Amino acid sequence: MTVRVAAAAPQLGGGGGLDVSAVRILAALVLSLAIAGAVILMLRRGGGRIDLSALRLPTRVVGARRIAPIETRRISAHADLCLVRCDGIDYLILSSAGQQQVLRETAVVAEPLP
């Protein structure tokens, strides 16, 4: 009669079991998903670009600025449509990799105070 002895499989690296609680794993997952969601929202708001000015970080004011970007929209994979205000005139600019073209210039009309 032969005796069969089951050999115990050694653990890789000789280490012990994982001592990480399920709460820590779940908290790391929730934090990672929250960061990913925030980045996705920032990318959607910026039209594919992360707009750090939307974070309202405190910045140093140098003085009155003459150029103010009003709005930017991506209209294709290679072109943006930008509305820029400079010295009281709004410029509608088509910007692509090869060229930029002013489509329209409009004088800014002062809005009445409520």
pLDDT tens digits, one per residue of 62-85? 567 788 889 999 999 899 999 999
Same domain assignment for residues 41 and 69: no
Q: Can you tell me whether residue 103 is helix, strand or coil?
A: strand
Same domain assignment for residues 64 and 101: yes
Domain annotation covers residue 2: no
Indicate if the pLDDT at residue 91 is higher than 80: yes
Q: Which has the higher per-residue pLDDT, 32 or 13?
A: 32
Mean pLDDT for all residues in the chain? 80
**What's the confidence (pLDDT) of residue 95?**
92
User: What count of Cα atoms within 13 Å lies in the side-chain half-sphere of residue 98?
Assistant: 0
Phi, psi of 13, deg, nearest 5: 75, -5
Same domain assignment for residues 50 and 69: no
Average pLDDT over residues 77-100: 91
What total number of domains does the chain contain? 2
Range of the domain at 108: 60-114
Cα–Cα distance for residue pair 72/33, rounded to 1 Å: 28
